[in-house]
Amino acid sequence: MFTIEHEFDATVVTLVDEGGTHLQEDVTINAFEECVTVEQLDPRRDTVVRVTLSMAQLRDLAMALDLPEGVYRLQPEGRAPGGG
């Protein structure tokens, strides 16, 4: 299950783990204009862990989900690979 909320400066998506056993804490994704943050409570330390991704990192992550194992560098649109 997930929720989507549109706030003043961000879109907030919350992912709720509804699997069987070994449920994980909710994951909250905050999409701002310049970055995306991913947050999850670490129950062992009772603190929220936050990872911040730039928009370029987010783009690379989205592309990586559909690619096989390997090392990649995305080329800007309109630019030939290896060209200047």
| pLDDT one-digit tens code per residue, 34-64 | 999 999 999 999 999 999 999 999 999 999 9
Q: Which of the 8 DSSP states describes residue 40?
A: E
Integer Cα distance of 12 and 48 in angstroms: 16
The tokens of 46 are what? 């009772």
What local confidence, expressed as pLDDT, does residue 20 receive?
79
The tokens of 45 are what? 């330390």
Q: Would you place residue 82 in the very low, low, confident or very high pLDDT band (cuts 50, 70, 90)? A: low
Quick check: pTM over 0.85? no
pLDDT of residue 16 exceeding 80, the answer is: yes
Phi-psi domain of 64 (left: phi exceeds 0; alpha: psi -120 through 50; beta: other): alpha
Using alpha carbons, list the distances in angstroms from residue 70 to 40, 54, 77.
Answer: 28, 22, 21
